[in-house]
Structure 1
Amino acid sequence: MKRIFYALSLLAMSPAAVLAQKAATGYVYNDDNGNGKKEAKEKGVANVAVSNGKEVVLTDAKGKYTLPVGDDNIIFVIKPAGYKVPLNAKNQPQYYYIHKPAGSPAEYEYKGVAPTGPLPASVDFAVMKYNEPDNYRALVLGDPQMLEPQDVGFFDKGIMSELVDVKNVAFGLTLGDLVGKVLTMHKDYIDVVAKANVPWYNVIGNHDTNHEATSIEKNDESFEASFGPSTYSYNYGQAHYIVLNNNLYPDPRDGKGLWGGFLPDQLTFVENDLKYVDTGKLVVLAFHIPLYQAEGAFRTEDRVRLFSLLAKYPHVLALSAHTHNQWQKFYDKEWGWTGAKPFHEFNVGATCGNWYSGRMNEQGVLESVMSDGTPRGYAYLNITGNTYTADYKVANKPADYQIGLWHRKVMSTIWWDGRGFVYANFYMGYKGSKVQYRIDNGKWKPMRYTLEPDPAFVAELYKWDDTEEMFRGRRPTEPANCTHLWKAKLPENIGIGTHQIEVQATDPFGRTFTQKSSYRIEEAKF
C-alpha cells in the first residue's frame, strides 16, 4: 500500500520533479551483536519512524522503509522508545545517513560534508532493544560558545569537570552556540562533552552556522559534517524530543543578519512527525533562539503555526538558549497558544555565562555571571512518565543554591542611613513565583517583584570601571533587566547587632528553596 501511495505521488508531480526524485530504502533492524552490520539472522523492527527531514514514514512488518531523496538529504531513524542507537567513540548517536553526492559548497571557510557518492542500495539503521526507563534525568546546556582556545579550558574546568562520568543521566543536550563562529572548534567541543560518557545530542545555534551561506538551507553544512541533521527527533521513555534549526540566516528579509523562525519544510516535518506521536506523550522541543523575542526578532507566523501543530498535546515544553540570561515564559492565547494550559518555555541561559567574562576565580575560570545576575551553570530535565520538572545547577555550588541575595552588610542607627533593601535573584523564578522573607525568624512577608538589573551584578561590573589596576579577566557586558528579581525593605532600628535574613521562594513546579544571609546595625561613626 505504501509503495502504491508513493507511486501515485510521483505521478502527481511534474516530469522534471520526478526526474529529480530518487528513493532511499533500507531497514531498521535489531543489532543483536552490536557490530553495526545487518546480518541475516537480525530481524527488522516494525513501526519505527524514519525521515528525510520532511516526510516521515513507518517501517513495515519486516522493518523496511522507503523515502524520497534529492541531492541534499539526511535520512535518519527516529529512535523509538525502548531502543538505543549506536554511539561513536565520542558518545555521539549514530542514527543518520548523509546523502550529498556533490558534498557541501567548496568555497566555505569551514568545510562541510565531503561528496558522499551514489546512494547505497540499502540505507540501514541499527537499533538495540533495552530496558529504557520512563523516569530519568537529562542534562541540558546552553551556549558553551567557545571562541578562543582558552575558552575550551574554561568550559572544561568550569562546567564539564563536574560532569565527568556523570551518574543517573540518560543523555545530554546542548541548545546551540556550541562554539563562537570558529567552526573547526566543534571538534574541541565534542572532545569536552564526551567526558560525561552519556549519549549527547546537539542543537545548531546561530554561531554554529556557515556565514558564507547565501541561502538558509545551506547554513548548517559544517554542523551536519560534525553532528548530522540540524532538524530531527527521537523518543526516550514517554517523551518525544523534536530538535529544530530556527536560525533564519541569512535573514530572508534583507539577505543578511539573523532572524528567528522555521522553514516550511521544518514545520512540515513537525506535522508529519507528530502523526506518529501519541497525544499522551510529553513533547519537548529544543531550539536555539527562543520563541519569545523582542518585537520582530522571531517570525510570528512560524510560532503561531508551531503552536497550532502542538495544541492537542497537553504535555509540552520548549527549551531554548541564545539570550545569555535565564528565564521562564508561559504562553497563552495572547501569544496564539490555544492549548488547555499555558505553553512553558524554559530559556536555560548560557554555560559560558557572560561570554567568558568577569574575574578569574580559584579554579582558574572566569566567573562569567550572566548579565541578569544568574551565575553560569547548566540544567537538569527530570522526566517522570509524561511530566517534567527542571533544575538549574549553579557551577561549583551545592544543588540547593537557587537564590542569590544582595543587601547592605552594615547600617547605622541614624534614620536616613538606616535604609536599605534586600534583593533576591531566584534563578528558576518568574513573575508569578511566590517569594517571601523574614528577619530574625519573624513573620514571613511577601517580597515585591521588580524588573531591573540585579544590583549584585551591577556592583561587580562597576568595580572594573573604578579600579586602577587591571583585574585578571575581562570586563562583563552592561547589565540586563532580571526577570526573576524580588526586593523588600530591610527594617530599621531593630537593635544594634547582627540580624538574620531568610528568603523562601517556590519554583514553577511547587518546590520551595531557602537562602539565608545577615546584616549588622551599628552606632554611626563620625
Structure 2
Amino acid sequence: MAAAVAVAGPLALVPATVAASPSEGGAYRGEIEVVAGEEGAAGDSVTGTVFVDADRNSTNDRGEEGLADVMVTNGRDVVRTDSEGRYELPAFDNMTVSITQPAGYQVPMDEHNIPQFHYNHLPEGSPDLKHGGIAPTGPLPEQINFPVTESSRTADAAQSCVIAGDLQVTDEEEVGYARAGAINDLSERHDYAGCGSLFLGDIANNDLSLYPDVKDLVAETNGPARFLPGNHDIDFDSPSPEHAFDTFREHLAPEYYSYDVGDMHFVALNNVDYPCTPGHDSPEGVAEHCSDPEGDPQYNGRISDEQMEWLEQDLANVPGDKLVVVAGHIGLVNYADEGEFQHQVDQTTRVHELLEGREAVAVSGHSHSVENMEPGDSTEGWREVLGVGGLPFQHITAGAISGDWYSGEVGENGYPTAIGRDGGRPGVVTLDVQGNRFQERFTVTGESDDVQTQLSINSPTYREWYEQWSERTGQAPEPADPSVVDREDLAGKTWLTTNFFFGSTGAGVEVAIDGAPAEPAERTQQMQGEAQNVGAEYSDPYAASQQLVHGGSLADRTMHLWRFELPEDLDSGSHTAEVTATDAHGREFTDTLEFEVVEARK
C-alpha cells in the first residue's frame, strides 16, 4: 500500500504555528510558593495570591502584580481572585488547591514539562501504601501562592492540542517501546507548545513505581504535559476511596482540574470510581457490580457527587462562547463497549445537559480503540444502558499510545505493531483549533498524517480461516495469500475493505478498479441506533490476520470500516484498486491495493 499526500477540504483548519519547544530554552520553569505558618496557627480557610512572576523565580516579590479573575478551587468550591489576585477558600484535610490556568498566561513547569499549579494538603500523609502516596504535608500553610507568566502561546486563538490515550507501561521494556514510538514522534513535533499534551489516564499499568520513568518520557516532549487518572493508576491497597489516587496526585496532577488555552476551556475529570458504589442515577446492573466494595472491590465509570458539584461551578464560571473540552479516562460513551455500563459513565446525560448550547467535544481513552463519533450518532447500547439517544456533540476515543497493550510483532523501529481491537494502529489525536472551532486528526505512531487507511481483502477463503482460528489469537498459521482471490471467492462475496482510522459519519470512501470510474463503498456500521455488527464479515482482515498469527485482541468490529464488493466478472490477472477516503471535513486520503484474480487456488 502507498498513501498519497492528503488533500485538505475547504473548511480545513491549519495546525498551530510552529513554536520553540521547552527543550530549546525559554520555558517557564518553577513551582508554586508555599508560605509556612506558625505551628497550630492555621484556621479553617486557605488563602494566597495568583501573581505575575515577572522575574520567574516562583516567589511573590515586592512589586509583582496579582492577577485578577483567576479561578481557584479546593476541589469542592470555586472562587475567582479579587482585583489584587487574592483568594480565600474553605480548608479541609485531604484537599487539593489548584488554579485554572488563564489563557494568555502559563503556569510554571518542572524539569519534566509537568505544569505546577496545585498543592495537596494532607497533614499526616497517605495511609501505608505500596507506591507511597502523598508524603505528610504538615499544617495548613499561611499562604499558597500561584505564579504565572504572560504567554503569547496560550493567548493565541490558533492552537494544536495533543490528546493521548493509554500510555499504560507495565515495565521498563514497555517504557522503551513508548519512547521509541509516540514519545519520539512528539519530540519531533513543535506545533503543540502552547496547548501541550493531555494524557488520558492509564499512565502506568498498575505498577505506579514507573511514574518517574513516565516523567522522564514527557520531559522529551515539546509542551506542557498534563495527566488525568485511569483505572490502572489506582492505589489498589488504599483502605478507602479517599486515597485511591494518592500516588497519582503526588507525582502527576490533581484528580480533576481545569485550564484555559486560547478560546478553549479544558476540564480534566476523574471518572473512575473505585471501589465503586452505586448512585441514585446509576444504570441497571451497577448495584450488583458494586455490591461489595470491601470484600470484592470493582471500578465503574462514574463521576463522584463532589466532583459533579465542582464541575457545575467550574462551567458556571466559563463564558458561553468558549470551546469546552471534557476529558476523562472512561468515555462518556464509546463504540467498542457500547452495551456495557462499566466502560461508560453513569452521568453521561447529566454532563450533556450541563454543556447544552455550548461548543463542546468529549475526549477519552480506556477502550484501546480509535472512535470519532459525530453529533447525532446513536447505538442500541447507549440507548438501552445510558438512556442516550443521538449525541449532542462530538465524542472522540483517542486510541492508545500502547495500542493493543504493546502486543504483536516488534518492528524495526523498536516498538510492537499493537493493532487495536478496531483494527486501528497506535497513535495520538490532535485537535487543531481556531477560536472555538476545531478539526480533529489522528496520527499513527511512526507515520505522517497522510497515513489514514488500511486496505485488505475480505473473501470467503479469509472468512473460513477466520472462523477456524478466531478463538485462538496468537496461534493461527499464516493465512492463504490475502492478495489472491479465486472465482469461488468472487461468487461468494468478496469485499475490498478500507479501515479509515478516523472515519466518521459524514465521511466517505470511493474505490476505482484499474482506472475505471470510482464507486462508493459502504460503511459497515451506520451509527443510526442499530446493534453492534460483529464477526468475520465486519472484521478488518489485515488486522485480524496479524492478531490471530502474532497475538493481541481481535478486530472483529469497528465503526470506521468501509467495504466495496468486487465484481464477479473481474478478469484473471493483476488488478489495482485506488481508494479515496474523504473525512467529514473534506480532507482526502488516497491509498492503493494490488491484488490478483485466479481461476482456482492451487
Same fold (TM over 0.5): yes
Could you say which residue in structure 1 is the equivalent of 2:162?
139
Structure 2 residue aligned with 1:215, among 240, 244, 250? 240
- Structure 2 CA distance for aligned equivalents of residues 164 and 194 of structure 1: 9
Tell me the SS of whatever aligns to 2:232: helix
- Structure 2 CA distance for aligned equivalents of residues 490 and 389 of structure 1: 33
- Structure 1 CA distance for aligned equivalents of residues 497 and 413 of structure 2: 27
Shift of the 230–329 alpha-carbon distance from structure 1 to 2, 3 Å rule, reads: same
- Structure 2 CA distance for aligned equivalents of residues 328 and 525 of structure 1: 39
Counterpart of 1:87, as a letter, is: M
- Structure 1 CA distance for aligned equivalents of residues 447 and 109 of structure 2: 31
Contact 2:49 2:145 in 1 (8 A): yes
- Structure 2 CA distance for aligned equivalents of residues 123 and 232 of structure 1: 17
* Structure 1, gaps ≥5 residues long: 1-19, 465-474
Counterpart of 1:45, as a letter, is: L
Structure 2 residue aligned with 1:154, among 139, 153, 177? 177
Structure 2 residue aligned with 1:328, among 372, 387, 404? 372
Could you say which residue in structure 1 is the equivalent of 2:400?
350
Q: CA deviation at 1:523?
A: 5.5
Could you say which residue in structure 1 is the equivalent of 2:303?
262
Counterpart of 1:42, as a letter, is: E
* In the alignment, structure 1 residue 64 sits paired with structure 2 residue 86: yes
Q: CA deviation at 1:415?
A: 8.0
Contact 2:301 2:346 in 1 (8 A): no
Q: CA deviation at 1:149?
A: 1.5
Could you say which residue in structure 2 is the equivalent of 1:236?
261
Could you say which residue in structure 2 is the equivalent of 1:247?
272
* In the alignment, structure 1 residue 121 sits paired with structure 2 residue 142: yes
Counterpart of 1:344, as a letter, is: Q
Could you say which residue in structure 2 is the equivalent of 1:13?
none
- Structure 2 CA distance for aligned equivalents of residues 454 and 58 of structure 1: 51
Structure 2 residue aligned with 1:164, among 182, 187, 205? 187
* In the alignment, structure 1 residue 87 sits paired with structure 2 residue 138: no
Shift of the 490–290 alpha-carbon distance from structure 1 to 2, 3 Å rule, reads: same
Could you say which residue in structure 1 is the equivalent of 2:412?
362
Q: CA deviation at 1:421?
A: 1.6
Higher relative contact order (CA 8 A, sep 6+): 2
Q: CA deviation at 1:480?
A: 4.0
**After superposition, what is the alpha-carbon deviation per residue over 1:105-141, rounded to whole angstroms, capped at 9, x for unaligned?**
12x1111111111111111100111222110111121
- Structure 2 CA distance for aligned equivalents of residues 358 and 188 of structure 1: 23
- Structure 1 CA distance for aligned equivalents of residues 494 and 263 of structure 2: 49
Counterpart of 1:347, as a letter, is: T
Query: What is the CA RMSD across the aligned residues, in angstroms?
Result: 2.3
Structure 2 residue aligned with 1:430, among 486, 504, 508? 504
Contact 2:201 2:233 in 1 (8 A): yes
Tell me the SS of whatever aligns to 2:197: strand
* Structure 2, gaps ≥5 residues long: 1-41, 278-289, 458-481, 525-532
Structure 2 residue aligned with 1:439, among 479, 496, 513? 513
- How many correspondences in the alignment? 495
Could you say which residue in structure 2 is the equivalent of 1:7?
none
Q: CA deviation at 1:190?
A: 1.0
* In the alignment, structure 1 residue 399 sits paired with structure 2 residue 444: no
Structure 1 residue aligned with 2:545, among 453, 456, 459? 459
Give the TM-score, by structure 2 length.
0.78
- Structure 1 CA distance for aligned equivalents of residues 331 and 345 of structure 2: 12
- Structure 2 CA distance for aligned equivalents of residues 380 and 251 of structure 1: 32
Tell me the SS of whatever aligns to 1:195: coil
Could you say which residue in structure 2 is the equivalent of 1:279?
320
* In the alignment, structure 1 residue 374 sits paired with structure 2 residue 424: yes
Counterpart of 1:226, as a letter, is: H
Tell me the SS of whatever aligns to 2:98: strand
Q: CA deviation at 1:521?
A: 3.1
Could you say which residue in structure 2 is the equivalent of 1:507?
583
Contact 1:21 1:70 in 2 (8 A): no
Give the TM-score, by structure 1 length.
0.89
**After superposition, what is the alpha-carbon deviation per residue over 1:199-235, rounded to whole angstroms, capped at 9, x for unaligned?**
1110111101111234333211000000131100000
- Structure 2 CA distance for aligned equivalents of residues 159 and 386 of structure 1: 27
Could you say which residue in structure 2 is the equivalent of 1:4?
none
Q: CA deviation at 1:104?
A: 1.1
Could you say which residue in structure 1 is the equivalent of 2:231?
206
Identity %: 32
Listed as ranges, the matches of 1:383-394 within 5 Å are 383-394=433-444
